[in-house]
Each structure stands twice: as structure tokens, then as C-alpha cells.
Amino acid sequence: MAAPEGSPGASPGPAPGAASGGGPAFESVEASLKSHLQGKDYDEVRRILYGRAYPELKIPADARQMAEKGGYEIQGYEISAQPEQLRAPRKVRVACIQNSIVLPTTAPIEEQKNAIHKKVGGMVEAAALAGANIVCLQETFMMPFAFCTRERLPWTEFAESADYGPTIKYFSEANYYMESTLGHPVFQTAFGRIAINICYGRHHPQNWMMFALNGAEIIFNPSATTGDLSEPLWGIEARNAAIANHCFTVAINRVGTEHFPHEFTSGNGLPGITAVEFRAEKHKRF
């Protein structure tokens, strides 16, 4: 599910992918293909890009109504696996939620948090109505992606308690890409063995491989990365990982445009900017 820019509750600023000079916004590769190709030509190009066609799931009417009221899309696809002779098939329904922020980054923190929680809470409810067994949210879904402003306040006020202890000291991007001592844990759930390869970890094939070797059947990759930086990469990386490691991968990226009072930099030495655009190509299926 994705909340497109310009929908109720979307953050201010230009729509993701908007053409320079005020032209129409670019919706997605798939939408562009549909508008320019017909019949067998469309089917063949789509097959080359995405593989075989996947049947769409029937979304319950109450879930669609929630999506329409909330101003976001809800879509579902069935991705089958090769039948086995000795094990019965298991059906698992996974929901991937992408959301933009609701209020400007200059609004009071409590108001920003409450607005995002209300928006995402509605999306989770819609996913449940659609029968989702597992719901995955994008990285730092509960706040603007303010890490690279290098500022502690007011962004640390979004911090929430976690079992692994405080994370405020890692708020500098130069520090939070660090090696872990936890290995590559896989979690046994009622719906299969899952692993979480967070954001930057997708760039390293060894991460995906180790999760798979440890028994992961579904590997999630919640991300938050700017459109120009990683839009051509993240979908391909997840698809390659699924092919190479014989497992399912679920990649989610952030959407929306976020404006910050002070310069934003990814630590790459380039001049800072104050508006960060997150784009996630819709309708990707891995």
C-alpha cells in the first residue's frame, strides 16, 4: 500500500517524480507502459521486466473503502511457489505499507507523531481487513527522515523505547552504519521464518545470503532512501536476492517530499539541500 503525494495527509511540496517546469507527475513505470503499449507488446515488455504475470488478489470492499477515505492505494497480488510432494503448501499474506509524513517538519513534535500514527494505524487496519498475516512498515515510518540534518533536537523527541536500549547516540549517519554483533537472526513465527535486512544492508549480497543460510523464508528490507540516490537500485537488489537465495524478499521504500529548515546531507560531501524527495516505484513484485 502506498500513500501518493497530494493525497489527504501528504506532506507539502512537489509531488514525487514531478517533471521540471510544472509538468505532470510521473506515476510509475508500469502506468507509463500501460499508457504507451497495448496487448502483446505490453505483456512481453512487462514479462521481461518483472517475470511472469501475477494474478491480483480480491481486496474486500471495506478495506478498499478505508483506502479511498484515507487517500492511499491498496493492491494485492498472488505469488506462487513450485508445489512440493512431501510438504503441504502454506499461504502467507504479507502487507507492505509506504507512507508520507502528514504535517510539515516544523509542526510541534507531538502533533506530527499523532498525525503519522493515526494515518499509519488506518493503513494497518486496512491491511488486516485484507487478511494480512504479516505487516512491514518502511524504515522510521513514525517520523520525518531527519537523521542527516545532523541535528539532535527536535528529532530525538521522536525516539521510542526498544528492547535493545537507547539509540539516540547513533543519530549521526556517520555512526549508524556500523557492524553488528547480533549476526543474522531469523525469527520463527506462526507464518514462517522471517528476517529483517534493514535499509543499507541491502547493498551487501552477503547479508541476504546469511539470512537465507540461517533459514529465512521471507526477508524484509524496510528502507528510507532518497529517490535520486537509490531508486534505480533497491528494487533490483531485492529481486536479485530472491533469485540468488531461493527465498521471498519484500522491499519497501519511503515516499513523499520532506522539507527541513536546515540543510540535509548524506555525508557525501555534496552541498546540502532542504527538501528531500523519497520515491518508491509502485507495483513492484518480487
pLDDT along the chain (286 residues), means of 10: 32 34 67 90 89 89 93 89 86 91 91 91 93 90 77 74 48 52 90 90 90 95 78 86 93 84 60 60 44
The answer to the question of residue 97 being in a domain is yes
5 within some domain: no
pLDDT of residue 282: 46
Phi, psi for 129 (deg, rounded to 5): -65, -30
Domain annotation covers residue 284: no
Number of domains, the chain = 1
Q: Report how far residue 131's alpha carbon sits from residue 78's, in angstroms, rounded to the nearest whole number.
A: 13
Give the dihedral sign, CA 74/131/57/218: positive
Query: pLDDT at position 265, please?
Result: 59
To which H or E segment does residue 245 belong?
helix 227-245
Domain that holds residue 41: 33-78+91-278
Look at residue 220 and tell me if it is in a domain.
Answer: yes
Nearest to 94, CA basis, from 78, 83, 81 = 78
Distances (CA, A) of 238 to 176, 182, 198, 251, 252: 22, 22, 12, 6, 10
Say what the pLDDT of residue 255 is: 84
**Confidence (pLDDT) at 66:** 93
Q: One-letter amino acid identity for 90? A: R
- In angstroms, the CA 248 to CA 242 distance is 5
- The pTM of the full predicted model, rounded to 2 decimals, is 0.77
pLDDT at 50: 83
Q: 271 preceded by cis ω (within 30°)?
A: no
Residue 11 lies in a domain: no
In a domain, 95, yes or no: yes
Domain containing 238 — which CATH number? Answer: 3.60.110.10
* Cα distance between residue 99 and residue 143, in whole Å: 10
Query: 28: which residues sit within 8 A by CB, 6+ positions away?
Result: 281, 282, 283
C-alpha cell of residue 79: 505469488
In a domain, 285, yes or no: no
Q: What is the pLDDT of residue 49?
A: 86
Q: Which helix (H) or strand (E) is 276 found in, with range?
A: strand 273-278
For residue 10, being part of any structural domain is answered with: no
The SS3 call for residue 131 is: coil
